[in-house]
A and B are shown apart, each in its own frame.
Chain A
Amino acid sequence: MCLLVSSGMTYAATITVGKDRPIQSINKAIQMAQDGDSILVEAGYYDEGNIRVDKKLAIIGINKPVIDGKKKTEPFSIRSPYVLIQGFVIKSSGHSAMNDIAGVKIYNTHHVTVKDNVLEDNFFGIYAQNSKHCQFINNKLQAYGKAEQLIGNGIHGWKSDSLTIQGNIIKGHRDGIYLEFVTHTQVENNLSDSNLRYGLHFMFSHDNSYIHNTFRANGAGVAVMYTNRVTMKHNVFEENWGDAAYGLLLKDISDSEITNNRFDRNTTAIFMEGSNRCHLEHNEFMGNGWALKVQASCMDNTFFHNNFFQNTFDVATNGSLSLNTFKKNYWDKYEGYDIDRDGVGDIPYRPVSLFSMLVERYPTAMILFRSFMVTLFDRTERLIPSLTPESLKDDQPLMKSVKV
Chain B
Amino acid sequence: MNKIIRYVFADLLKNRTIVIYTLLLFTLSISIFNMESSSEKGLVSLMNIILFVVPLVSIIFSSIYLYNSAEFINLLVSQPLQRQKIWCSLFIGLASAMCISFLLGVGIPTLLFEASLSGLTLIGSGLFLSIIFVSVAMLISVWIRDKSKGIGLAILLWLYFALLFDALVLFFLFQFSDYPIENAMVAISMLNPIDICRIFMLLQVDLSAMMGYTGAIFRDFFGTGTGMAITAIIMALWAIIPVALSIRYFKKKDL
- Residues of A whose CB lies within 8 Å of any CB of B are 241-245, 265-268, 287-290, 309-313, 332, 361-375
Q: B170: CB under 8 A from chain A? A: yes
Q: B214: CB under 8 A from chain A? A: yes
Q: Which of B41-49, B59-67, B81-89 contacts A (4 or more CB under 8 A)?
A: B41-49
Known: A364-B181, A369-B202, A370-B201. A241 touches B173 (CB 8 A): no
B206 contact set on A, CB distance < 8 A: 289, 312, 369-370
Q: B147: CB under 8 A from chain A? A: no
State whether B211 touches A367 (Cβ < 8 A). no
Chain B residues touching A, majority SS: helix
* A242→B217 CA distance, assembly (Å): 11
Across the interface, name the chain A residue whose C-beta is closest to B215. Answer: A366
State whether B216 touches A372 (Cβ < 8 A). no
State whether A364 touches B173 (Cβ < 8 A). yes
A245 contact set on B, CB distance < 8 A: 211
B52 contact set on A, CB distance < 8 A: 372
* A/B pair count, beta carbons within 8 Å: 102
- Minimum CB–CB distance for A250 against chain B, Å: 18
Across the interface, name the chain B residue whose C-beta is closest to A242. Answer: B211
* A248→B181 CA distance, assembly (Å): 30
State whether A265 touches B207 (Cβ < 8 A). yes
B residues 162-192 with Cβ under 8 Å of A? 162-163, 166-167, 169-170, 173-174, 177, 181-182, 185, 189
Residue in contact with A370 in the complex, picked from B40, B44, B170, B214, CB distance below 8 Å: B44
State whether B209 touches A363 (Cβ < 8 A). no
Residue in contact with A367 in the complex, picked from B47, B167, B199, CB distance below 8 Å: B199
State whether B166 touches A362 (Cβ < 8 A). no
- Residues of B whose CB lies within 8 Å of any CB of A are 37-38, 40-41, 44, 47-48, 51-52, 162-163, 166-167, 169-170, 173-174, 177, 181-182, 185, 189, 195, 198-199, 201-202, 206-216, 218
Closest 7 CB pairs of A and B: A289-B209, A243-B213, A241-B211, A312-B209, A289-B208, A363-B214, A371-B166
B212 contact set on A, CB distance < 8 A: 242-243, 267-268, 289, 363, 366
A313 contact set on B, CB distance < 8 A: 209
Known: A373-B166, A373-B170. A290 touches B213 (CB 8 A): no
A309 contact set on B, CB distance < 8 A: 37-38
13 A-B pairs (CB sep. < 8 Å): A243-B215, A243-B216, A266-B208, A309-B37, A311-B208, A361-B177, A362-B177, A363-B212, A364-B182, A367-B199, A370-B48, A370-B198, A371-B51
